[in-house]
Amino acid sequence: MVNHLQRTTEILGDLIAYPTVSVDSNFDMILHMAGLLEDAGARCDVISSPCGTKANLFATLGPDRNGGILLSGHSDVVPVTDQAWTRDPFVMDEADGRLYGRGSCDMKGFIAAALAMAPHFAERVAARPLHFAFTYDEEVGCMGARHLADELSERGLTPGVAIIGEPTEMRIIDGHKGCNEYTTRFNGLAGHGSLPDHGVNAVEYAVRYVNHLLGLKDALRERAPKDSPFDPPWTTVNVGALTGGVAHNVIAPSAEVEWEMRPVQPGDADFVKQSLQHYCETELLPRMRAVHPGAYITTEIIGEVAGLIPTDENEARRIMAELTGANSSDVVAFGTEAGIFQAMGTDVVVCGPGSIEQAHKADEYLAIEQLAQCLTMLESLGDRLCD
């Protein structure tokens, strides 16, 4: 295990050095990981994104057949802009039993562990294939995972079990809310601030839209399933940003609202979207177009990521319980790519090293002790591949 930990730490340092912020390309990191897996004997497929600047990596050890076990993680990280880092975020720094660096916890630590264990897996894999899936753009709507799921479906390949290595402190997570992100844009008519009736103030209508959205909170609380295991147990909405306008004395011609909701059940998402659409069509747009017929409101879907639904039968949960010795599972509020794989017909759990409390923050870190626990689990998984 000491050698596995040392090798994992080396790989993690290399991965952190790739600044795979979602707005940038991840190609160099994907090609580096593909090289490591090919050295271990894996069959690797680098799948370019539609825009051609990013890629997923899908690799397999063992027989070429349907099913198998999938180890999955996302390659992208969130920005470091305007964060008060005390060290270079893209140079791994080891101190006080921690490995610092952007992505160390979320989630390059798990990826590094999976890569380091690939030779161990290759020596033991038998009848059941072991897959690796490393995706792009999880942080901005799980774009890569959706692309990969479509690709695998076209090939007729559905993993039987998937382990998503997001930071859970190695707890077994078998449920989480969905995560739906939107940008709603308002186009009005500019004018002088002293003549408000001669223009259509897009910021004003954006504020009304936000007020209506926030007004749905009480209704969403009342819709919470009685047996909801989540905290909070209802679907939440959040307004992340409202921008628009050009100057104090100019009627704002445009504005946009960035918002999200985290559904506990699919019907809640429909409820929110239908309510907003009705409000726009019957209240906002008629008023806007009474002054300016060309006014409009549009909503862009940034990402609609399915939640992970807890099920009574879950082979992934059973396997992870055997590997970790845990006798229980839990749910979390944050979203992952797990629901995308579950929708394919795969049994899924989320389990990986580190705490979500460190993710997305300045001086992000992964405790070495957590990484060691992950390697112990993966080593046991490797021994299981002989069966």
The arithmetic mean of pLDDT across residues 213-229, rounded, is 94
The arithmetic mean of pLDDT across residues 56-72, rounded, is 96
Q: What is the pLDDT of residues 181-198, one digit of tens each?
A: 999 999 999 999 999 999
- Please report the pLDDT score of residue 231 as a whole number: 86
The arithmetic mean of pLDDT across residues 144-148, rounded, is 95
Query: Is 24 among the catalytic positions?
Result: no
DSSP 48-67: E-TTSS-EEEEEEES-S-S-
Looking up tokens 């996302």 gives: 74
**pLDDT over 70, % of the chain:** 99
- Please report the pLDDT score of residue 383 as a whole number: 86
Q: pLDDT confidence of 127, banded at 50, 70, 90?
A: confident
Quote the mean pLDDT of the chain: 95
Question: Is residue 305 pLDDT above 90, yes or no?
Answer: no
Q: Please state, in angstroms and rounded to a whole number, the distance separating the CA atoms of residues 180 and 189.
A: 30
Give the count of alpha carbons within 13 A of 66, CB side only: 10
Q: Are 57 and 30 in contact (CB under 8 A)?
A: yes
DSSP 191-219: EETT-GGGSB-HHHHHHHHHHHHHHTHHH
Q: Find the DSSP H helices in the chain.
A: 2-16, 27-39, 109-116, 118-124, 143-155, 202-215, 217-222, 266-279, 285-291, 315-324, 338-343, 368-384
**pLDDT over 90, % of the chain:** 91
Q: What is the pLDDT of residues 259-287, one digit of tens each?
A: 999 999 889 999 999 999 999 999 999 99
Looking up tokens 């990013």 gives: 54
Q: Are 279 and 205 in contact (CB under 8 A)?
A: no
The arithmetic mean of pLDDT across residues 330-352, rounded, is 94
Catalytic residue among 106, 138, 166, 174: 138
The arithmetic mean of pLDDT across residues 106-127, rounded, is 96
- Please report the pLDDT score of residue 361 as a whole number: 96
Looking up tokens 């295990």 gives: 1
The arithmetic mean of pLDDT across residues 16-34, rounded, is 97
Catalytic residue among 76, 137, 139, 364: 76
Q: Are 201 and 217 in contact (CB under 8 A)?
A: no
- Please report the pLDDT score of residue 182 as a whole number: 96
Q: pLDDT confidence of 149, banded at 50, 70, 90?
A: very high
Residue 112: which of 18, 247, 239 has the closest Cα?
18
Amino acid present at 133: A
The arithmetic mean of pLDDT across residues 371-376, rounded, is 97
Query: What is the total residue count of the chain?
Result: 387
The arithmetic mean of pLDDT across residues 238-261, rounded, is 97
- Please report the pLDDT score of residue 205 as a whole number: 98
Q: pLDDT confidence of 344, banded at 50, 70, 90?
A: very high
Please give the backbone phi and psi of residue 203, each rounded to the nearest 5 degrees, phi first.
-65, -40
Query: Is 76 among the catalytic positions?
Result: yes
